[in-house]
Amino acid sequence: MKNMKKLVALMLVLAMILVGCSSEPAGGNEGTEAGGEQETFVIRAGIGLNDQHPQFKGLEVFKEYVERESDGRIEVQLFHSSQLGDDIQMMEALQLGSQEMTCPSTAPITSIDKRFMAFDLPFLFPTPEVADAILDGAIGQELLDGLQDHGLVGLAYWENGYRHLTNSKVAVSTPEDMSGLKIRTMENQVHLDFFRAMGAQPTPMPFGELFTAMQQGVVDGQENPVPTIYLQNFDEVQDYTTLTGHVYSPFVFMMSKIFYDRLPADLQQIVRDGALVARDEQRVINREYTEELTDGLRQKGMTVIELTPEQQQAFQAATSSTVEKFRDEIGAETVDRILAEIERLSN
């Protein structure tokens, strides 16, 4: 019996090695140029959210653009709902060259470059327009460029959006109401810190495990933007949404550097342009959905709590120590430049 198990395990490993060896040519990424034919490439782009989410709509725009502009030399295959793994696993696959594209929130990218923690600071961006200006400006670009040292090509910031709290226990309108609530957070030190500061018990976990964790009562709640709460049907396992808007969450649309370096220059440019075309449309769709679906949550039966300016202020006050705590770890220069830029753009 033991030997049988060993044999099966050995066969599985062999099968995986064989699949691994044959998948690239079959996927077309080795390309063909025989007989004057041009090289062809396959991009597998994976995300954690489902195919109803504006993030997936962004991927569809990208696919349409790249396949059209490359005249079929690039095929883009789309995978949603963590079919290819969670954010961290997919970034690792990009680094190894075994997957071509993904689009994580900035929060898990901090395991690769701590400067991205700057975007996780609570109550940082006052409006989406200020966020756009900083992300699409010099600072945002420097951070994207830095990913090249880690085997990733950061192409553009897309929008996840302002994150809000949901839970199954209590109608939260003050930080005190959060006392003892078990809240799933993204895998990110800044998020863990400010949820502790609000009095909650944060539990980091990948997005793909979240719904079941709420269903089984492993956590009482979570935090995500409105389109995610609505489109992932969190109302089935959560009763209350509090519009805390405690952090603005960007996505980074990125490519494996190993794969990018294999593309001819004209296709690299098409990929770069497509990422920006898709960014612009994705942000528009995300903002429309955010507006429409906030009321949709009420229609689905959730209690939606809008905070008064005083209540909002109480959440900000509770988390005000986070910036100082993380300034050096993130890099004081990065934090100060971002804060100065926000100040300039807000006046």
Asked if 55 is part of the footprint of ligand KDG (rule: CB under 6 A), the reply reads: yes
Contact between 193 and 254 (Cβ < 8 Å): no
In the complex with ligand KDG, the residue whose CB is nearer, 107 or 270, is 107
- Find the shortest distance in angstroms from Cβ 105 to ligand KDG: 4
Site string for ligand KDG, 80-99 (x = CB under 6 A): -------x------------
- Find the shortest distance in angstroms from Cβ 37 to ligand KDG: 35
Q: Which of 29, 160, 173, 242 touches ligand KDG (CB under 6 A)?
A: 160
Question: 185-224: which residues touch ligand KDG (CB under 6 A)?
Answer: 186, 207, 224
| Cα dihedral value 106, 109, 115, 119, nearest 10 | 10
In the complex with ligand KDG, the residue whose CB is nearer, 70 or 249, is 249
Question: 224-263: which residues touch ligand KDG (CB under 6 A)?
Answer: 224, 249
Q: Which of 54, 58, 85, 104 touches ligand KDG (CB under 6 A)?
A: 104
Asked if 79 is part of the footprint of ligand KDG (rule: CB under 6 A), the reply reads: no
Residue corresponding to tokens 């961290």: 88
- Find the shortest distance in angstroms from Cβ 60 to ligand KDG: 14
Question: Which window, 45-53, 109-117, 126-134, 175-183, contacts ligand KDG (CB under 6 A)?
Answer: 45-53
In the complex with ligand KDG, the residue whose CB is nearer, 247 or 263, is 247
Asked if 105 is part of the footprint of ligand KDG (rule: CB under 6 A), the reply reads: yes
Question: Which window, 14-22, 101-109, 195-203, 230-238, contacts ligand KDG (CB under 6 A)?
Answer: 101-109
- Find the shortest distance in angstroms from Cβ 6 to ligand KDG: 36
**Pairing mode, strands 240-256 and 303-305:** parallel
- Find the shortest distance in angstroms from Cβ 44 to ligand KDG: 14
- Find the shortest distance in angstroms from Cβ 80 to ligand KDG: 8
Closest residue to ligand KDG using C-beta atoms: 48
Question: 295-324: which residues touch ligand KDG (CB under 6 A)?
Answer: none
- Find the shortest distance in angstroms from Cβ 107 to ligand KDG: 7
SS (H, E, C) the chain: CHHHHHHHHHHHHHHHHHHHHHHHHHHCCCCCCHHHCCCCEEEEEECCCCCCCHHHHHHHHHHHHHHHHCCCCEEEEEECCCCCCCHHHHHHHHHHCCCCEECCEHHHHCCCCHHHHHHHCCCCCCCHHHHHHHHCCHHHHHHHHHHHHHCEEEEEEEEEEEEEEEECCCCCCCHHHHCCCEEEECCCHHHHHHHHHCCCEEEECCHHHHHHHHHCCCCCEEEECHHHHHHCCHHHCCCEEEEEEEEEEEEEEEEEHHHHHHCCHHHHHHHHHHHHHHHHHHHHHHHHHHHHHHHHHHHCCCEEECCCHHHHHHHHHHCCCHHHHHHHHHCHHHHHHHHHHHHHHHC
In the complex with ligand KDG, the residue whose CB is nearer, 32 or 83, is 83
Contact between 314 and 174 (Cβ < 8 Å): yes
In the complex with ligand KDG, the residue whose CB is nearer, 39 or 281, is 281
Dist. CA 155–CA 29, nearest whole Å: 20
Question: Which window, 47-55, 129-137, 310-318, 336-344, contacts ligand KDG (CB under 6 A)?
Answer: 47-55
| Cα dihedral value 222, 223, 227, 231, nearest 10 | -10
Q: Which residues here bind ligand KDG, judged by CB under 6 A?
A: 47-49, 55, 87, 103-105, 160, 186, 207, 224, 249
